[in-house]
Structure 1
Amino acid sequence: MTVLVGYTRTAEGRAALHHGREFAALLDAPLAIFPLFDIDAATDWPSPELLEEAGNQTQFLSRVPSSNHAAEELLDLGAQIGARLVVIGVRSRSRVGKILLGSDAQSIILGSPIPVLSVKAENHEH
């Protein structure tokens, strides 16, 4: 049973990775990281820094070019790999911001049949 981290290149994404690694160790489970951002040919995925931070036993998942949103892809992959826990980073946003921009975190939390751990970053970069 895998611990699946929804990763972003933000302080919240790093917090999700940190807590995901801790839970994977506690559960003696593999860790998988899914990018919640678009990957193109110019994107360095996974980055050398992320490879070092995540450790050798980590599986790096890729986005599939499709019409699905990142949250839907993460949930589909979570079911396929038998994830036991999904870990995501969250940040506070105004109501208007949520309406205009949507929220992958909200979609994951509300739509996941797998338990979701949502974490906040200790230091905000915004």
Structure 2
Amino acid sequence: MSVVVGLVPTKEGRAAMVRAAEEAVRRRVPLIVVDIADVSRAGDTADLTSLGSVLQEVRATIGTTVPLTVHAAADDADLAEELITVAEQHDADTIVIGLRQRSATGKLDLGSNAQRILLDAGCPVITVKG
């Protein structure tokens, strides 16, 4: 059993990391961080730099309470598929993802990665706002 979260260079990704750490501590299960932060996807190296501080914050939150594993995804990995696969490999209790705020029209489209994770994951998915 574990909690799986993607390391994504966005405010929603940072919120998901913090919530996943809290969830892992609460459940007393390992935290599996899937490093899907890629410069070509992020577009802003400042966001990638801030991920290091978020990971440090997560390590401080969980301390030695639960194990933390960082899984590096391949550069060309499909984000949704990678999270689902890692969750299956580690028999995850849950996956934690961040969702963006959307306009009234944009609410019709959840986002392809989020939608695929919600529909295809074999475990519950916790969504958090940035």
User: Which residue of the partner structure matches residue 72 of structure 2?
Assistant: 62
Q: Which has the higher helix share?
A: 2
Residue 107 (structure 1) shift = 1.2
Aligned with 1:113: secondary structure?
A: coil
Separation in structure 1 between the aligned mates of residue 94 and residue 107 of structure 2, nearest angstrom: 30
User: Which residue of the partner structure matches residue 8 of structure 1?
Assistant: 8
Separation in structure 1 between the aligned mates of residue 15 and residue 83 of structure 2, nearest angstrom: 18
Separation in structure 1 between the aligned mates of residue 49 and residue 83 of structure 2, nearest angstrom: 16
Residue 15 (structure 1) shift = 1.0
The CA deviation string for residues 27-83 of structure 1, in whole angstroms up to 9 with x for no partner, is 11111111344368xx869953233112163211111255x5210111011101111
User: Which residue of the partner structure matches residue 81 of structure 1?
Assistant: 90
Separation in structure 2 between the aligned mates of residue 11 and residue 20 of structure 1, nearest angstrom: 14
TM-score between both structures, scaled by the size of structure 1? 0.75
Structure 2: 5+ residue runs without aligned partners? none
C-alpha change, 1:115 and 1:15, in structure 2 (3 Å) is same
C-alpha change, 1:81 and 1:46, in structure 2 (3 Å) is farther
Q: 2:129 aligns with which of 96, 120, 124?
A: 120
Aligned length: 116
Q: Is the 8 A contact 1:34 1:61 kept in 2?
A: yes
Aligned with 1:54: secondary structure?
A: helix
User: Which residue of the partner structure matches residue 105 of structure 1?
Assistant: 114
Separation in structure 1 between the aligned mates of residue 107 and residue 119 of structure 2, nearest angstrom: 19
- Residue 114 of structure 1 aligns with an amino acid whose one-letter code is C
Segments ≥4 residues shifted beyond 2 Å:
35-40, 43-48, 92-99
Separation in structure 2 between the aligned mates of residue 113 and residue 35 of structure 1, nearest angstrom: 20
User: Which residue of the partner structure matches residue 124 of structure 1?
Assistant: none
Q: Is the 8 A contact 1:7 1:88 kept in 2?
A: no
